[in-house]
Structure 1
Amino acid sequence: MKVVVIGGSGLIGSKVVKLLGEHGHEAVPASPQTGVNTLTGEGLDEVLAGADVVVDVSNSPSFADDDVMQFFTTSTTNLLEAERKAGVDHHVALSIVGCDRAPDSGYLRAKVAQERLIEESGVPYCIVRATQFFEFGKAIADSATVGDEVHLPPVAFQPIASDDVASAVGRMAAGEPINGHVEVAGPARYRFDEFIAGVLDHLGDPRRVVADPQAPYFGQVLVEESIVPTDDGAALGATSYEEWLARSEQR
């Protein structure tokens, strides 16, 4: 089976390409580095020739509200149109748990717009919604820093290893389209502010984390379950934070 992975050189995409290849599929990474640009359409027809599945794990280079909306709507529209022309049977996209519960976040509004385009495209699909990655702990702290403090809301947080996200995306790509979404999350829940405080402590970072219920996350003030699965149907990753941390230190 030929699977084209849009964003195939990134954190998740490169892992998906590797996993699918190990399972005997022809996994083709596609990104501007390989001459494929979903914003302009350059290279799409060529790379999708003969493709059975398209996996889209690409991301906007800018998180500014207008930029991210333009990226996801334009690139997804171009990609879906090219898929229809090529006769692609299955579209798999990576999205975010809780994106439809965060109307004040420009980034998450753009992910909802992307999902809607996929749902209305007529192309059989699966949307994989994931929680935040273990790898993003320091970046989250940096984005929430005010002076020498990190302001984060004391709400539920259930991060996941990127390896487990890639495995979930790969499984959906190798299976039949469900024309719906699935959620994946880490095996344990934490308090958002306490988890990031632990990340900084491990790194020896002196910044103090402040539990601030009004601190926005990507522009959205969160309530208790804004960014975690809210039902029992979510698949849980196999890797605990402690296991991920030990592997990271070994590498």
Structure 2
Amino acid sequence: MKIVVVGGTGLIGSQVVALVRDRGHEAVAASPSTGVDTVTGQGLAQVLDGADVVVDVSNSPSFDTEPALDFFTRSARHLSEAEKEAGVRHHVTLSIVGVDRVPDYGYYRAKVAQEEAVRDSGVPFSIVRATQFFEFVAPVMDMSTENGRVRLPSTRLRPMASADVASAVTETALGEPSYGVRDIAGPEVHRLDRLGEITLAVRPDGRGVVTDETAGLFAGMPDGALIGDDTAHRAATRYEDWLRHGQPPSRATDRSGH
């Protein structure tokens, strides 16, 4: 089976490529660095030649509404056209838990538009919605730091390790199209300000956390929108265990983190 991973050089995509290969299948990473640009359509026909499955874990370079909307809708359109031409039998898109419950957040509206384009494409599909990645906590903290204080709202999240996201996406790609949505989430609900405190307790750097309901990307989110419901699959990795024994949090912003 040939699986093309769009965004295959990023945080999630590179792990999906490795997992697919470990399962004995052909995995091809597609990204601008490999000559494939979904926004313009460049390289799509070539990379999709002979592909059975396409996994789209690419992300907009901007969180702003219009650039994100343009990226996701144009990419989805070019992908679906190329997939139908190549005879791709399964398209898998990575999205965000609660994405349709936050209409005032432009980036989420753009992701909803992407989901709608996938559903309307005519290509058999599966959508995997994940909660925020552990790897995203440190960059969010950095963006909210001022004078040694990390200002974070008490927004509730159920974050998960990117490795668990990649595993679920790979499992979906190797299965049959669901024509629906599967939610995946971490094992525990945390307030974002508490996640900041946990991070600095395990990896102290002199900063402190201040609860500020107006600060940062997740301020004003509807309560409970980002944690999923009882139908969401629960991953096993806990944030504190990941901090102590897993991948250390990046200090560079990775926009794959939802």
Judge same fold: TM > 0.5, yes or no: yes
Aligned-partner residue type, residue 177 of structure 2: P
Q: 3-state DSSP class of the match of 2:15?
A: helix
CA drift of 1:216 comes to 5.2
How many angstroms apart in 2 are the aligned matches of 1:200 and 1:99? 29
Question: Could you state the TM-score of these two structures normalised by the residue count of structure 1?
Answer: 0.93
Q: 3-state DSSP class of the match of 1:37?
A: coil
Deviations 1:155-200 (A, max 9, x none): 3211100000000000000000001111111111112211122213
CA drift of 1:136 comes to 1.1
Q: 3-state DSSP class of the match of 1:217?
A: coil
2:254 aligned partner: none
2:230 aligned partner: 232
Deviations 1:118-140 (A, max 9, x none): 01111111111111111111111
How many angstroms apart in 1 are the aligned matches of 2:10 and 2:173? 17
CA drift of 1:15 comes to 0.4
1:39 aligned partner: 39
Name structure 2 gaps, 5 residues minimum.
249-258
Q: Is 2:145 the partner of 1:145?
A: yes
Q: 1:244 aligns with which of 226, 242, 245?
A: 242
Deviations 1:27-57 (A, max 9, x none): 1111111111111111100110111100000
Distance 1:127 1:192, change over 3 A: same
CA drift of 1:66 comes to 1.6
1:124 aligned partner: 124
2:25 aligned partner: 25
CA drift of 1:146 comes to 4.7
How many angstroms apart in 2 are the aligned matches of 1:248 and 1:65? 31
1:92 aligned partner: 92
1:55 aligned partner: 55
Aligned-partner residue type, residue 242 of structure 2: W
Contact 1:186 1:240 in 2 (8 A): yes
How many angstroms apart in 2 are the aligned matches of 1:144 and 1:113? 28
Aligned-partner residue type, residue 85 of structure 1: E
How many angstroms apart in 2 are the aligned matches of 1:155 and 1:248? 24
Q: Percent identity over the alignment?
A: 54
How many angstroms apart in 2 are the aligned matches of 1:148 and 1:227? 28
Aligned-partner residue type, residue 222 of structure 2: V
How many angstroms apart in 2 are the aligned matches of 1:176 and 1:69? 28
Contact 1:5 1:29 in 2 (8 A): yes
Q: 3-state DSSP class of the match of 1:182?
A: strand
Q: 3-state DSSP class of the match of 1:95?
A: strand
Q: Is 2:200 the partner of 1:223?
A: no
Root-mean-square deviation (CA), in Å? 1.6
How many angstroms apart in 2 are the aligned matches of 1:6 and 1:132? 20
Contact 1:186 1:237 in 2 (8 A): yes
Contact 1:216 1:222 in 2 (8 A): no
1:104 aligned partner: 104
- Of the structure 1 ranges 38-47 and 153-162, higher mean CA displacement relative to structure 2 is found in 153-162
How many angstroms apart in 1 are the aligned matches of 2:77 and 2:205? 42
- Correspondence list, 1:108-187, <5 A: 108-187=108-187
Q: 3-state DSSP class of the match of 1:88?
A: coil
How many angstroms apart in 1 are the aligned matches of 2:214 and 2:222? 9
Question: Runs in 1 of length 4+ with deviation above 6 angstroms?
Answer: none
CA drift of 1:234 comes to 0.6
1:191 aligned partner: 191
Deviations 1:68-108 (A, max 9, x none): 11111111111111111111111001111111111111111
